Amino acid sequence: EAGVAQSPRYKIIEKRQSVAFWCNPISGHATLYWYQQILGQGPKLLIQFQNNGVVDDSQLPKDRFSAERLKGVDSTLKIQPAKLEDSAVYLCASSGGPGELFFGEGSRLTVL
Amino acid sequence: SQQGEEDPQALSIQEGENATMNCSYKTSINNLQWYRQNSGRGLVHLILIRSNEREKHSGRLRVTLDTSKKSSSLLITASRAADTASYFCATDAGTGANNLFFGTGTRLTVIP
């Protein structure tokens, strides 16, 4: 069974530039999550989708972050404009029901 | 914040010794999960314990849950160098939405 796919693995941008991350969840998983993990900290939930609807985006900085999950499958997380403090690993996860989340390898963003 | 706190932040032991990590959380939960993260990788699910369970085993892992104290512990017995990783506890919000909130993590180093 293929795991959660994320791209790109690494991205370096200047502040005020924009960036987009892509995630393809495990086939059949209805729930998709984006987490932000700053170095040395635990993952922080940014947004949770159930199919193509948003379940929780209370911690998403909506002035600069946006996410969509068209057709209820893959998802894109965008940051525009990026700030220095957005440097982090962006983790995508999916689940097929209550319980275990399956994580991708993450996309590491460095903002200079 | 729902986020849990792990204790200790870092732990260094010799191979063959047992490692114990603790997690405290703030609100009611349906379940508590433990995840492992190798450096530069995504998180991998280890074990889930439901709110009505007090102890659970999986191979060399033993998890306990005390809902009255809002705390959990993860014991890894007979540790191996390959167990070197960061370990995170994660709790749901008790709403059934399966949105997980992660703690700050314990960095475990097992010395061969």
Q: Is B43 on the interface with A (CB under 8 A)?
A: yes
Q: In terms of CA atoms, which chain B residue is nearest residue A47?
A: B99
Q: Render pLDDT for A17-51 as a digit per residue (tens, 0 to 9).
A: 999 999 999 999 999 999 999 999 999 999 999 98
B70-81 core/surface letters (b: 16 or more CB in 10 A; e: else): bbbbbebeebee
Residue A13: C-alpha distances to residues A6, A20, A75, A112, B41 (Å): 18, 11, 21, 6, 21
Distance separating alpha carbons of residues B93 and B82, to the nearest angstrom: 32
Strand (E) or helix (H) holding B87: strand B85-91
Distance separating alpha carbons of residues A47 and B45, to the nearest angstrom: 20
Distance from CA of A72 to the nearest CA of B (A): 17
Distance from CA of A60 to the nearest CA of B (A): 14
Residue A1, pLDDT > 90, answer no
CB B37 within 8 A of CB B50: no
Q: What is the DSSP string of B20-33?
A: EEEEE--S--SEEE
DSSP-based three-state secondary structure for B97: coil
Q: Render pLDDT for B48-66 as a digit per residue (tens, 0 to 9).
A: 999 999 999 999 999 999 9
Report the residue of A6, A29, A37, A49 to disrupt the B interface, i.e. the one with the largest count of B CBs within 10 Å: A37
β-strand partners of B21: B74
Distance separating alpha carbons of residues A91 and A105, to the nearest angstrom: 7
DSSP-based three-state secondary structure for B34: strand
Task: For residue A105, list chain B residues with Cβ-Cβ distance below 8 A.
Answer: 41-42
Q: Render pLDDT for A37-86 as a digit per residue (tens, 0 to 9).
A: 999 999 999 999 998 899 999 999 999 999 999 888 999 999 999 999 99
Whether residues B42 and A48 touch (CB distance < 8 A) is answered with no
Residue B5, pLDDT > 50, answer yes
Q: Which of A20, A45, A16 is nearest to A32 (CA)?
A: A45
Task: For residue B102, list chain A residues with Cβ-Cβ distance below 8 A.
Answer: 35, 42-44
Distance separating alpha carbons of residues A103 and B44, to the nearest angstrom: 7
pLDDT at B93: 72
Mean pLDDT value across chain B: 92
pLDDT at B1: 46
Distance separating alpha carbons of residues B106 and B5, to the nearest angstrom: 9
